[in-house]
Structure 1
Amino acid sequence: MAGLETTAANKLSASSRYPNYVLGVLFVVTMLNFLDRQIISILAEPVKRDLGLTDTQIGLMTGLSFAIFYTTLAIPVAALADKWNRSRIIAIAIAIWSAMTVLCGLATNFVQLFLARVGVGVGEAGSAPASHSLIADLFPPERRAGALGILGMSVPIGAFIAYAGGGWVAENFSWRVAFLMAGLPGIIIALVIWFTVPDPRGNVSLAAAFKPDPDKVGLKEALKELSSKPAYWHLVAAGVLVQFVSYGLASFYGGLFVRVHEIGYGELGWKLGVMVGVSGGFGAWVGGKAGDYFGKLRPTLPLLVAALIMVLAAPGMIWAIYGPSANVAVILLAIPTFAATFYYGPNFAALQKLASDETRAMAVAIYLLIAGIIGLGVGPVFVGILSDTFAGELGEAAALQRALAILALFNIWAGFHFWRATRSMPE
């Protein structure tokens, strides 16, 4: 059986259609990844009211609970992805996080919901490193940023479904039903991957994958290699700050619009969904194309463009937070949303260039570890604590606005690190 799978993998990898098929499947995987991850954002306000939570608890539930194992498991899963069947890893991962999303809808208190979100993070830890490693093997360097940009487009589309669908379901049914509907499709996709996406490197037994291999690079060796590349760490810092802002903002979309503009969940969901889907998808697509085009002129040029866009995102986000109406605020939010996805292609393509063939998955995993702990884990909590701190003085609505305005300034910091990466990145 193993021989048949290996032969099938070799035939498929030789076909020009196979890379595009795998990219399409991984597009759906990443879309569901962010659907199940981000649906909590549009549901946070009704969950808060139903379960009687504070903004700090909302930050813990949306960010830290997910990040705990999502980040810590990324390293061992990436090491496994460098040895074992990556398609199997992705299939198992999506089955786990989908089941845990369903359990979120069954939670009756903060602790249960927190633990279910931890489970979502456990599952999603297995997706990105293996997916990026597969794309790096299937696409040549001159097409890699474009492929990663296409993959990045699935992020805002998943968010669109989360916001539009989640808001509509929450308003017409309940937030519990929204979680159930978000989790179930992943089980089907897991089966599709298991049976139709063989790994091009062939089938390796799980037992063999855990055997010590002197030719494989572990975490210690990867850190030693990457420690001599300051450009890598500036890219990590930039990505961390982008996620710090984007997840901190997204976790309180519902709070901002419901408290400040008194908008309904259904209306808010589809408006946010359209904004995120269009501006975020366009940002990822433009970022991928810009990475391929400008990279041919000068390898560091895409990162300079990313730096400029992040700096411009700061005032755009502040204008959105203090927008005079819900419609104006949604439109202005397109600026930081575009910036938050534009960086995806250039940043990850540069990470893959800086890493050796043996450390590709590990380089992404290290990035995800740090970005998850600080960006995803701390960003929403940071906003929640600031909002609760200002609430006594300003009231809930104005307190959240001030907290998010402070968060917007971190975009400038991200731009600085993109610029610094160009100063130390080899041409």
Structure 2
Amino acid sequence: MEDAASGKPALEVTRSPAPSRQTNYALGVLFVVTMLNFLDRQIISIVAEPIKQDLGLTDTQLGLMTGLSFAIFYTTLAIPVAALADRWNRSRIIAIAIATWSAMTVACGLSANFIQLFLARVGVGIGEAGSAPASHSLIADLFPPDRRSGALGILGMSVPIGAFLAYAGGGWITENLDWRSAFLIAGLPGIIIAIVIWFTVPDPRGKIPLSAAFKAKPNEITFKDAFKELSSKPAYWHLVAAGVLVQFVSYGLASFYGGLFVRVHGIGYGELGWKLGVMVGLSGGFGAWFGGKIGDILGKGNPRLPLLLSGLMLVIAAPGMIWAIYADNVNVAIALLAFPTFGATFYYGPSFAAIQALANDRTRAMAVAIYLLVAGLIGLGIGPVFVGGLSDYFAGGDKLLEASALQKALAILALFNIWAGFHYWRAEANIKR
């Protein structure tokens, strides 16, 4: 595939100098931001079961609370925030975003019923909508094309580390204090990081007045323009479809970690939290790092190969996930979950590097935002509700069947990994063509 303006292959890269200390510092701070992003997003997974018991919720309500409540504005607001990120100071946007979602995480711990908790989770989604598009756009400016996959892979490593803190810390706090304390403690560090970003991470564009960001500019790319440009690239939409399915599976599974292991194996929250945290931190962190390195190394010779490997990892993850769901031993079950966890983070670097390469300089943030809109609204928003609804259907209101019903729902969910692998194969084929 060639770039229309230059005639060169669109994904072609050349060797660039090593990033500067300031660039690496910015990546380190964004790493912490994304880690806290996932910590505050996912801590609800480990405390979902005690919330269910305390507030008298159904599995469908758990799915709505963990998935759809967060996804509604997390995905839809990503588009206007991405447009702002293409015009204004991205460091300021990220700082405001983390301060907002951290405050709303604290509000989750103060909620007295389902409606209040649902609305607080909506607020977390509103805050987190500003983080990813601005962060990805900033990294694309800080790192040259041949180093972006590695940088994005490092950023992706923060996701499983944030999950480790959510599961291990949230489980311990829940068992020794209560689920409300877990939210309160998780939300406070973000306020400090917001101040650090505001004063120490400059945007390469320099200082741009906020008023200038809302003024029309000649030849400016709008959402319609970006959508039209990306619509001509089938590879991009196959990457979006794959992202939908990866998130559908990963969030659907993670939202019911507590339900699966507490109902089936009778494990305590403290033990479950640290064991899940170690598994997710190691397998997920290694998957993100390895995927990023593979993207940089193999991508030099064949930029399409990392996408094929991403799809293969997800196909392998499907039987591993089913095996874990029906394992008799809790430790074996948690260990087997490393397969879907590795596959769900390996894709991060190669996929987002390909998206940045398929977009042009003026639509990078918008390309990520559109991806997050579709993948998040369907994957994150519907995945947990899908699992919760299936579980309630299979249980038929019988408390004694809740454990086996949840196992059936999660086993069906595992098959969506194979579908995701198909879209990576089609993305590779379209880039080749």
Change over 3 Å in CA distance of 1:219–1:269 after alignment to 2: same
Deviation, 1:234, is 0.1
* Other-structure match for 1:291: 295
* Other-structure match for 2:90: 86
* Other-structure match for 2:365: 361
* Other-structure match for 1:401: 407
The AA in structure 1 aligned to 2:127 is G
The AA in structure 1 aligned to 2:150 is G
* Other-structure match for 1:188: 192
* Other-structure match for 1:413: 419
Determine if contact 2:34/2:158 at 8 Å carries over to the other structure.
yes
Choose the corresponding residue for 2:233, options 226, 229, 234: 229
Q: Which runs of 5+ in 1 are unaligned?
A: 1-13
Q: Give the alignment's Cα RMSD to 1 decimal.
A: 1.1
* Other-structure match for 2:323: 319
In structure 1, the residue corresponding to 2:363 is in which secondary structure? helix
With 394-403 and 49-58 compared, the bigger mean Cα shift is at 394-403
In structure 1, the residue corresponding to 2:362 is in which secondary structure? helix
* Other-structure match for 1:343: 347
Deviation, 1:215, is 3.0
* Other-structure match for 1:391: 395
The AA in structure 2 aligned to 1:384 is G
> How many residue pairs end up in the alignment?
414
CA distance, structure 1, for counterparts of residue 81 and residue 432 of structure 2: 29
* Other-structure match for 1:247: 251
CA distance, structure 2, for counterparts of residue 214 and residue 49 of structure 1: 57
- Map Cα deviations across residues 130-175 of structure 1 (whole Å, 9 max, x no partner): 0000000000010000000000000000000000000000000000
Report percent identity of matched pairs: 80
CA distance, structure 2, for counterparts of residue 403 and residue 425 of structure 1: 35
- Map Cα deviations across residues 27-61 of structure 1 (whole Å, 9 max, x no partner): 00000000000000000000000000000000000
* Other-structure match for 1:58: 62
Choose the corresponding residue for 2:204, options 200, 206, 210: 200
CA distance, structure 2, for counterparts of residue 328 and residue 54 of structure 1: 28
Determine if contact 2:136/2:365 at 8 Å carries over to the other structure.
yes
Moved over 4 A (4+): none
Tell me whether 1:118 sits opposite 2:122 in the alignment.
yes
CA distance, structure 1, for counterparts of residue 19 and residue 313 of structure 2: 38
- Map Cα deviations across residues 252-274 of structure 1 (whole Å, 9 max, x no partner): 00000000000000000000000
Deviation, 1:198, is 1.2
1:156-171 alignment runs, 5 A limit:
156-171=160-175
CA distance, structure 1, for counterparts of residue 410 and residue 297 of structure 2: 34
Tell me whether 1:217 sits opposite 2:221 in the alignment.
yes
1:19-30 alignment runs, 5 A limit:
19-30=23-34
* Other-structure match for 1:7: none
CA distance, structure 2, for counterparts of residue 325 and residue 49 of structure 1: 25
CA distance, structure 2, for counterparts of residue 367 and residue 201 of structure 1: 24
With 133-142 and 213-222 compared, the bigger mean Cα shift is at 213-222
Determine if contact 2:156/2:348 at 8 Å carries over to the other structure.
yes
1:267-282 alignment runs, 5 A limit:
267-282=271-286
Q: When the two structures are superposed, what TM-score results if normalisation uses the length of structure 1?
A: 0.96
* Other-structure match for 1:8: none
CA distance, structure 1, for counterparts of residue 93 and residue 127 of structure 2: 10
The AA in structure 1 aligned to 2:371 is Y
CA distance, structure 1, for counterparts of residue 202 and residue 302 of structure 2: 36
1:174-185 alignment runs, 5 A limit:
174-185=178-189
Q: Which runs of 5+ in 2 are unaligned?
A: 1-17
Determine if contact 2:19/2:143 at 8 Å carries over to the other structure.
no
With 408-417 and 16-25 compared, the bigger mean Cα shift is at 16-25
* Other-structure match for 2:10: none
In structure 2, the residue corresponding to 1:395 is in which secondary structure? helix
Tell me whether 1:132 sits opposite 2:136 in the alignment.
yes
In structure 2, the residue corresponding to 1:357 is in which secondary structure? coil
* Other-structure match for 1:329: 333
CA distance, structure 1, for counterparts of residue 147 and residue 124 of structure 2: 32
CA distance, structure 1, for counterparts of residue 375 and residue 259 of structure 2: 24
Choose the corresponding residue for 1:371, options 357, 369, 375: 375
The AA in structure 2 aligned to 1:83 is R
* Other-structure match for 1:76: 80
In structure 2, the residue corresponding to 1:277 is in which secondary structure? helix
Tell me whether 1:99 sits opposite 2:103 in the alignment.
yes
CA distance, structure 2, for counterparts of residue 76 and residue 153 of structure 1: 27
In structure 2, the residue corresponding to 1:336 is in which secondary structure? helix
The AA in structure 1 aligned to 2:56 is G
Deviation, 1:214, is 2.4
In structure 1, the residue corresponding to 2:206 is in which secondary structure? coil
- Map Cα deviations across residues 340-380 of structure 1 (whole Å, 9 max, x no partner): 00000000000001000110000000000001110000000
Deviation, 1:15, is 8.0
Deviation, 1:190, is 0.2
The AA in structure 2 aligned to 1:396 is E
Determine if contact 2:310/2:424 at 8 Å carries over to the other structure.
yes
With 287-296 and 143-152 compared, the bigger mean Cα shift is at 287-296
